[in-house]
Amino acid sequence: MIFTVAIDGPAAAGKGTISRAVAARFGFAHLDTGALYRAVGVKGGDPVAAANGLTPEDLSRDDLRTLEAGLAASRVAVIPEVRAALLDFQRRFARREGGAVLDGRDIGTVICPEAEVKLFVTASAEVRAHRRWLEVGGDAARVLAEVRERDDRDMNRADAPLKPAADAVLLDTSGLGPEEAIAQAIALVQAQMPG
């Protein structure tokens, strides 16, 4: 079965939490596409060369989830040649046999416009920054500023900007805990499953 679930949205909206749960529930493979951009961002040197030569080791570094890695990712993510270098891998992953969940910024719009289910997960910037602050700690005002800076760069870039696909279902998780958000996403996927 070929079946793609595209989950897009801004930083710390809950995309990864929902994606992992949907993948586990339906036995689909999951790709966190943000990790690709984070790995390119932290590798240093020429970002286009880094994107063309990403290795499994680059993707398993334990410093990919830092605020700095997120900012570095959003800076290399504006470069069209970087996005182009990562495109085929993501497209093939999306249409692999057995079903796939991909989360990122442009899955429903660019990577897999034919996805069977498209979710655009959002929450207010304050709620998202608070969630990220609970994970990384430090100065809460700085976490909020960095979330806003990244959202701004992601929404305003020319190539594959962050925006909901015309046929995406919007899921605002501002007032939802992870379990409620997961339940809504699973119900949406279930409704589109064949048979």
From the CB of 135, what's the least distance to ligand CDP, in Å?
Answer: 5
How many residues of this chain bind ligand CDP (CB under 6 A)? 28
Q: Is residue 118 at the binding interface for ligand CDP, with CB under 6 A as the rule?
A: no
Q: Is residue 4 at the binding interface for ligand CDP, with CB under 6 A as the rule?
A: no
Report d(CA 168, CA 134) in Å as an integer.
Answer: 29
DSSP string, 97-158: TT-EEEEESSIIIII-TT-SEEEEEE--HHHHHHHHHHHH-S-HHHHHHHHHHHHHHHHH-S
| Separation of CA 66 from chain center | 15
Tokens of 147: 């979330």
Q: Which of 11, 65, 14 is nearest to 178 (CA)?
A: 14
Q: In the beta sheet, which residues pair with residue 170?
A: 120
Q: Is residue 150 at the binding interface for ligand CDP, with CB under 6 A as the rule?
A: yes
Q: For the segment 156-175, give every residue that binds ligand CDP (CB under 6 A).
A: 173
The answer on whether 13 is annotated among ligand-binding residues is yes
The answer on whether 12 is annotated among ligand-binding residues is yes
Q: Is residue 99 at the binding interface for ligand CDP, with CB under 6 A as the rule?
A: no
In this chain, which stretch among 30-38, 46-54, 91-99, 184-192 interacts with ligand CDP, using CB under 6 A? 30-38
In this chain, which stretch among 21-29, 50-58, 100-108, 185-193 interacts with ligand CDP, using CB under 6 A? 100-108
Report d(CA 72, CA 106) in Å as an integer.
Answer: 18
Instruction: Give the binding site for ligand CDP (CB under 6 A).
Output: 9, 11-17, 33-34, 37-38, 70, 73-74, 77, 104-106, 131, 135, 150, 154, 173, 176-178, 181
Question: Which residue ranges make up the annotated binding site for ATP?
Answer: 9-17
